[in-house]
Amino acid sequence: MPSRVLKNVLRKLIYGTWGSAPSDRFQKVRYQRIWVSAVFITASVSILPLLVLTGFNFSQYQRALKEESTHPIHLLVSTSKRSLEYSIEERRNALLYIAKTNPIDELRDKKRLKIIKTNLDETFAHFVDIGLIDSNANLISYVGPPELEKKLSGVNYSREEWFSEVLSGGIYVSGVFKGHRGKPHFVIAVRTSDDLGDIYILRATLDMQLLTSQVPAFGHDEVSDVFIIDRDGILQTRSRSGASELEKSPVGAPPYSDSAEVSEIMGKSGVRFIMGYAYIANTPFIFVMTRPMPDLMKNWLILRRNLLAFLFTSILVIIVLTMTVSSVLVSRIREADLKHEAALHHVEYAAKMASIGRLAAGVAHEINNPLAIINEKAGLLHDMISMNEDFPSREKSIKIIESILNSVERGSTITHRLLGFARHLDIQITTIDLAALINEVLGFLEKEATFRNIEVQTFFQEDLPTVKSDKGQLQQVFLNIINNAFEAVKKDGRVGILVERKDHDVISIQITDTGPGIAEEDMDRIFEPFFTTKSEGTGLGLSITYGIIRKLKGDIKVESKLGQGTSFVITIPVEKKL
């Protein structure tokens, strides 16, 4: 039963628009072939680019989202690496300076050593104690907590790993260990000598707060884990997984690298992780951050679902429209054939030309939809690749995308010309909520603002009246100006939008950016066609915007100062007077 219904629907779709099949079997087969060819060619031309573009978007979006997700990890690890390196280096240099500028006799003097320790505490934090050790590994002078002075009195460090390391290397930063204290700590030791050439070691203990202060807190982010390990994979700070200092870390020691790295690893439970890490120079420490991969790729799964839904919906719409248009096409051909049999040659010719004109307008209208989609997706892809300096084959990819955009623009121009001949588009006056319209435009640009880290602030006066104007043209005006503002601020900038009622019948919309501003000599020319200060651009955006505003009986002004930003002020009447 369902198959019979489907068969009847298809039969009606194929023949219903041009009546029953012609009596001549040859003509019937001819019309069927025309219909099949039209459906196949038109659908192929529309669907194949859509499939290619969707596949390309799948690949590029996945890569872009992954890079966008891993970039904060790389940034945090790099920042923490520099911070920890600086903290340890300044304390190592301070200890080295003390060893080189103070004679051994003064360092042996406990009172003098106590003054040095006091000065260290006033300048730096996290020093627990300081002591002088002779070449036989005996502690001969010490200043620190009173309870430790008695405990460490006469201690010998000959069996400690760090003692032999500092004798051979001159400067040594240890990993975390308990030692004689029984509490986790690490030491910085430097080698020095007296006038007779006898070797001594100046050694300072640092508390764990120096390391734990470099591990950021994530608040409600319960999936990330940040800790410090040594080159044997032993924890130097606590892990969120529950492991404490000096226990085996959840991940082993990663491969050595001079800079911060981000890579994928497989956890013990079979869950893939993103791991960012950085080796701390001249120390045994490695800063590590981990985060489960599923959490990072959650946005990609949502986007993939939306892309597939859009793809299948678009294909279905294209097929239905193609079959319908093809049926109309065959119907027109049949009508032209009947007129050919009954009319003179010049009447037949005129009918065909009229049919072709109507067909061209209809096809142009239907092609504009996939062209708009291709233009939007290719433009977004162009922006994402342009902002990513590390994108593989970046220049080649940008050229390919620009070629796509140019081809779309050319096709759009042709179809709009065809539509222009078919009908005239007048201004369509509707009641508009400006706040909702501007928020809708910002919704189009939300991804771009997030990707560029642009802060958008909106201020809408309370009890704003609705306006009567053309929604589509106002939408184009706001989209042009806000896009220009985004281009001006580049990254990490701000764009402000203020909407308020100036007079009883006038609404003011002020769009301000924190970009570089416009030179004074260019202010009088910015609304001229083909004038632009961009390296790439047609110079038509503001001139078109100006024309639309004037057509809607409004006004537009610009205020700008170099280095301070630019502000566009648009005033439109509450009700357009025709």
Which residue did the predictor score with more confidence, 150 or 174?
174
Q: pLDDT tens-digit profile of 441-458? A: 887 788 788 888 888 899
Q: Are 200 and 192 in contact (CB under 8 A)?
A: yes
Q: What pLDDT, on the 0 to 100 scale, is given for residue 1?
A: 47
Q: pLDDT tens-digit profile of 469-517? A: 888 788 888 888 888 888 888 777 889 999 998 877 889 999 999 888 8
% pLDDT > 70, the chain: 83
Residue 565 forms beta bridges with which residues?
Answer: 561
Q: pLDDT tens-digit profile of 230-264? A: 998 899 888 877 788 888 888 888 899 999 998 88
Fold of 429-573: Heat Shock Protein 90 (3.30.565)
The CA–CA distances, whole Å, from 461 to 440, 441, 496, 509 equal 17, 18, 14, 11
3-state secondary structure 505-520: CEEEEEEEECCCCCCH
Residue 199 tokens read as 């070797």
155: confidence class by pLDDT, cuts 50, 70, 90:
confident
Helix axes 25-101, 110-123, angle to 10 degrees: 150
**244 Cβ contact list (under 8 Å, min separation 6):** 235, 238
Residue 13 has pLDDT above 70, yes or no: no
In our burial notation (b when 16+ CB lie closer than 10 A, e otherwise), range 109-125 reads beebbeebbeebeeebe
Residue 105 tokens read as 């006799």
- Look at the block and give the residue holding tokens 């044997």: 232
Select the highest-mean-pLDDT range: 119-128, 397-406, 419-428: 119-128
Question: CATH assignment of 215-296, given 2.40.30.270, 2.40.30.10, 3.30.450.20, 3.40.80.10?
Answer: 3.30.450.20
Which residue did the predictor score with more confidence, 403 or 497?
497
Fold of 102-210: Beta-Lactamase (3.30.450)
Query: Do 102-210 and 429-573 come out as alike in CATH topology?
Result: no
Sketch the domain layout of the chain as residue ranges.
2-56+298-422, 102-210, 215-296, 429-573
413: confidence class by pLDDT, cuts 50, 70, 90:
low
Q: pLDDT tens-digit profile of 23-61? A: 455 567 777 888 888 888 888 888 888 888 888 877 777
* Averaged confidence pLDDT in the chain: 79
Alpha-carbon dihedral sign for residues 64, 68, 70, 76:
positive
Q: What pLDDT, on the 0 to 100 scale, is given for residue 323?
A: 86
